Amino acid sequence: MIKKKYDTLIIGHVSIDEIIYDGEVTKMYGGAVVYSGYSAMAGGNKTGILTKTSEQISDMEGIFNVPRNDLYTVNSSKATSIRNNYLSADRERRICTALSVADPFKIEDVPKVDSEIYHLAGLIAGDYEGEIIKALSQRGKVAVDVQGFLRKNINGEMIFEDWEEKLEYLPYIHFLKTDAAEAEIMTGLKDRREAAKLLHRWGAMEIMITYNTEALVYDGSDYYMAPLKPRNLSGRTGRGDTCFSAYITERLKRGPAEAVLYAAALVSLKMETPGPFKGTRADVEKYINQFY
């Protein structure tokens, strides 16, 4: 039997998001796997999704834009649901509360497919069991959003703490994504360049650190940066997920400099509209020509 082939297989939980800003409450389906999936598809990449379903999520097919036979689901006793209460106009400060948490992914949940990238788009520490990173590194390039290993659920309160097993698992990670705060938690360094260099020294091959003004990439020899230029921030939620997915899939065919520019432009355009990015590569290229 011939295995299905993907550019990226994205593994993560859908989140039932409750977003509070300026006194208004909005409910929508979100989660890193959703934003990452739309971002990868926009670039024309063959994209597979592995997620968990429960009775709280009735229309899983309607959440994603991948073909039905590229969506793999495993049952969970409950869904992940997160409340995001934004406290500032730039939407950099927020209080996150875990209302419920889905069952973790195990290596046996992963479909027998061939994928260039296995993207762990996690939300909360505990989303993935034990040795899944090492096992997937034998199949392809592992991409990890470190949020899914640093953000811990302590009686509903979301607390960021260092990843205790980082030195064990970083050498198995090809693409690592953090934001500036997460990079400081992991390394103790405020300087994003120095933090990226240390994360590379610990084993990760390419590091992306996102910030509200730019995306920074370090590949062990050079730094690559591209500014974020959104004209408004109404679609701020999902920024890092969208940017990382755009970058790693673009890296399958282009160098770091071109890939980070593409990712920064795509996420800038995405940040102007709530929800996942529903534009095209042509839209991103037009944005680059207009603003970069």
pLDDT at position 90 is: 64
Q: Are 192 and 134 in contact (CB under 8 A)?
A: no
CATH of the domain at 207: 3.40.1190.20
pLDDT at position 92 is: 64
Condensed to tens digits (0 to 9), the pLDDT of residues 207-226 reads 999 999 999 999 999 999 99
Domain, as residue range, for 159: 5-291
Please tell me the pTM assigned to this model: 0.94
Structure tokens that stand for 47 in this block: 């994209």
**Which residues are registered as beta bridge partners of 206?**
175
Query: Using CA atoms, how far apart are residues 27 and 275, in angstroms rounded to an integer?
Result: 11
pLDDT at position 130 is: 79
DSSP state of 128: B
- Nearest Cα neighbor of 7 from 270, 205, 250 is 250
Condensed to tens digits (0 to 9), the pLDDT of residues 69-96 reads 999 999 999 999 988 888 776 666 778 8
- Nearest Cα neighbor of 80 from 52, 58, 50 is 52
Tally of structural domains, the chain: 1
pLDDT at position 234 is: 85
